[in-house]
């Protein structure tokens, strides 16, 4: 049953497939999930890889040191055409194995720690209130993506990194250009523009030391023969800038859609604001905004559940499906803001939306805080919020990794 990785097999399930509902996995993935935890799927380039839909198997594989995240390897699968662009190989931290991964991740740990996140929360609240007030002043209809969902994470990450927010239109557009490109060439072009921009910015920070933000701090630690070269710093800057705003903004947007389409759940949340942190994890579980928890390549044969993943074979872990493994999440397709009541509130964090293993999302505490603030301020300031277009008419992104909506018209 183990077809060689490059055989094009017309019978195999074709990855990716579009969602039919913005917060549910594609019907085809749902079908796969019912058949078992491990599947062979065919990619755009004809290559066959494994797709994991079982929660236990996903955790085991993502925590297994024999699985490599090194995107510069020839056998690393490009699960979408754009991921074949040179700019993605190697992408900092997320695309490196230990020891380099661990060294770079630890350099950043203080800036993403719970303490730091808690310290910046009041500023994020003030920002969200200001954006909501601007929306009220402008009056309906408003595109929630541009007016609210995007500016919050975008300002937060530019502040944290020390990237001037006045350049936001540029870096937001290029990030979307990179993450939604249909071809490797388009992705490379957008990526290079971001690269050149960050290169110039870091040069300015080198000339004027002592500036605020992570990039200034790290610019002072660069040594060409040490743990952090200038190229490493550029790659880290790119990864954080890209990783820091598109995911979170689309999670705010689709989170709002999901809440508005479940008025009973929204009402339950309004009645019990203390349930918000757990509700955020339930939303993260359900929406699975990146659709994928991680992509890897096996460096040795790995036996799992009676199957053998051969050295050199690619593995894609589906977050939308592992997050619906009924063994871990009863009534998996239901949105239930009180899913974890009666237990330790953190146990709702078992979802794999942020991945698992050493690559589990570095920005997750920041993202959770931004989401808490974004939803609580929005529904407090604009209690009559509703969709400005029927759900079916929402311009949704196509299947693949980064899910979301191009625009989100809202009224009140």
Partner 1 sequence: MKVTADRSRCMAAGHCAISAPAVFDHGEDGLVVVLDAEPGEDQRRAVEVAENLCPSRAIALLDASAAAPAQGAPPAG
74 to 103, contacts with ligand HEM by CB under 6 A?
Answer: 93-94
Q: How far is the CB of 204 from partner 1 (least distance, A)?
A: 27
Q: How many CB atoms lie within 10 A of CB 154?
A: 23
16 to 45, contacts with ligand HEM by CB under 6 A?
Answer: none
Asked whether position 355 contacts ligand HEM by CB under 6 A, the answer is yes
CA distance 357 to 294: 10
- CB closer to partner 1, 62 vs 238: 62
- CB closer to ligand HEM, 154 vs 265: 154
Q: How many CB atoms lie within 10 A of CB 277?
A: 16
CA-wise closest residue to 132 among 337, 363, 384, 406: 384
247 binds, among ligand HEM, partner 1, none (CB under 5 to 8 A by kind): ligand HEM
Asked whether position 401 contacts ligand HEM by CB under 6 A, the answer is no
- CB closer to ligand HEM, 37 vs 95: 95
- CA 81 to each of CA 7, 28, 88, 124, 380: distance values in angstroms, whole numbers, following the listed order: 18, 21, 11, 36, 42
- CB closer to ligand HEM, 57 vs 388: 57
Residue 46 structure tokens: 């004809």
293 binds, among partner 1, ligand HEM, none (CB under 5 to 8 A by kind): ligand HEM
Q: How far is the CB of 77 from ligand HEM (least distance, A)?
A: 12
8 Å CB contact between 292 and 353:
no
Binding mask 362-381 for ligand HEM (x = CB under 6 A): xx--xx--------------
Residue 250 structure tokens: 């689309």
Q: How many CB atoms lie within 10 A of CB 267?
A: 12
Interacting stretch for ligand HEM, rule CB under 6 A, among 33-41, 80-88, 121-129, 241-249? 241-249
Sole binder of ligand HEM in the list 42, 82, 105, 339 (CB under 6 A): 105
251 binds, among ligand HEM, partner 1, none (CB under 5 to 8 A by kind): ligand HEM
Residue 268 structure tokens: 């339950």
Q: How far is the CB of 245 from ligand HEM (least distance, A)?
A: 7
94 binds, among partner 1, ligand HEM, none (CB under 5 to 8 A by kind): ligand HEM
Asked whether position 359 contacts ligand HEM by CB under 6 A, the answer is yes
What stretches of 205-342 adopt beta strand conformation (E)?
A: 292-298, 302-304, 307-309, 314-318
CA-wise closest residue to 135 among 402, 377, 394: 377
Distance from CA of residue 34 to its chain's centroid? 25
* Strand-pair partners of 169: none
Which stretches of the chain bind partner 1, using CB under 8 A? Answer: 62-63, 102, 105-106, 109-116, 342-344, 346-347, 349-350, 355-358, 360-362, 364-365
8 Å CB contact between 76 and 68:
yes
16 binds, among partner 1, ligand HEM, none (CB under 5 to 8 A by kind): none
- CB closer to ligand HEM, 219 vs 295: 295
Q: How far is the CB of 116 from ligand HEM (least distance, A)?
A: 12
- CA 274 to each of CA 33, 158, 270, 341: distance values in angstroms, whole numbers, following the listed order: 33, 30, 9, 11
DSSP letter at 412 equals -
- CB closer to ligand HEM, 70 vs 381: 70
387 binds, among ligand HEM, partner 1, none (CB under 5 to 8 A by kind): none
The single residue listed with the structure tokens 């993403």 is: 112
3-state helix, strand, coil in the chain (%, to 5): 50, 10, 40
Sole binder of ligand HEM in the list 54, 243, 314, 348 (CB under 6 A): 243
Residue 356 structure tokens: 């698992």
8 Å CB contact between 354 and 389:
no
8 Å CB contact between 184 and 81:
yes
114 binds, among partner 1, ligand HEM, none (CB under 5 to 8 A by kind): partner 1
Q: How far is the CB of 59 from partner 1 (least distance, A)?
A: 9
Q: Contact residues for ligand HEM (CB under 6 A)?
A: 69, 93-94, 105, 157, 239-240, 243-244, 247-248, 251, 289-290, 293-294, 353-355, 358-359, 361-363, 366-367
């Amino acid at each position: 049953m183990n077809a060689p990785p490059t055989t094009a097999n017309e019978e195999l399930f074709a990855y990716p497939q579009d969602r039919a509902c913005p917060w549910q996995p594609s019907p085809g993935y749902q079908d796969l999930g019912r058949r078992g935890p491990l599947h062979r799927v065919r990619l755009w380039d004809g290559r066959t890889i494994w797709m994991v839909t079982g929660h236990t198997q996903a955790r085991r594989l993502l925590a297994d040191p024999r699985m490599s995240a090194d995107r510069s390897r020839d056998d690393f699968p490009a699960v979408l055409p754009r991921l074949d662009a040179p700019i993605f190989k190697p992408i900092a931290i997320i695309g490196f194995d230990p020891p380099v991964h661990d060294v770079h991740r630890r350099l950043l740990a203080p800036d993403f720690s719970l303490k730091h996140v808690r310290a910046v929360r009041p500023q994020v609240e003030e920002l969200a209130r200001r954006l909501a007030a601007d929306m009220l002043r402008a009056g309906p209809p408003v595109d929630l993506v541009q007016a609210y969902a995007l500016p919050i994470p975008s300002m937060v990450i530019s502040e944290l990194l020390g990237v001037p927010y006045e350049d936001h239109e540029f870096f937001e557009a290029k990030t979307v250009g990179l993450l939604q490109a249909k071809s490797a060439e388009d992705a490379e072009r957008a990526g290079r523009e971001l690269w050149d921009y960050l290169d110039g910015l870091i040069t300015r920070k080198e000339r004027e030391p002592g500036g605020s933000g992570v990039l200034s701090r790290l610019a002072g630690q660069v040594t060409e023969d040490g743990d952090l070269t200038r190229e490493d710093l550029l790659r880290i800057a790119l990864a954080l800038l890209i990783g820091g705003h598109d995911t979170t903004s689309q999670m705010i947007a689709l989170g709002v859609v999901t809440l508005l389409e479940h008025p009973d759940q929204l009402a339950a949340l309004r009645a019990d604001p203390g349930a918000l942190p757990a509700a955020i994890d339930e939303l993260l579980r359900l929406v699975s905004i990146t659709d994928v928890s991680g992509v890897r390549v096996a460096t040795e044969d790995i036996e799992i559940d009676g199957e053998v993943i051969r050295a050199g074979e690619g593995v894609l872990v589906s977050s939308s499906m592992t997050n619906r493994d009924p063994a871990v999440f009863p009534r998996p397709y239901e949105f239930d803001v009180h899913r974890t009541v009666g237990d330790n509130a953190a146990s709702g964090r078992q979802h794999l939306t942020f991945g698992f293993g050493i690559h589990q999302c570095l920005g997750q505490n920041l993202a959770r805080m931004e989401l808490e603030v974004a939803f609580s301020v929005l529904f407090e300031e604009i209690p009559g919020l509703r969709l400005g277009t029927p759900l079916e008419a929402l311009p949704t992104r196509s299947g693949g990794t980064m899910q979301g909506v191009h625009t989100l018209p809202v009224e009140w």
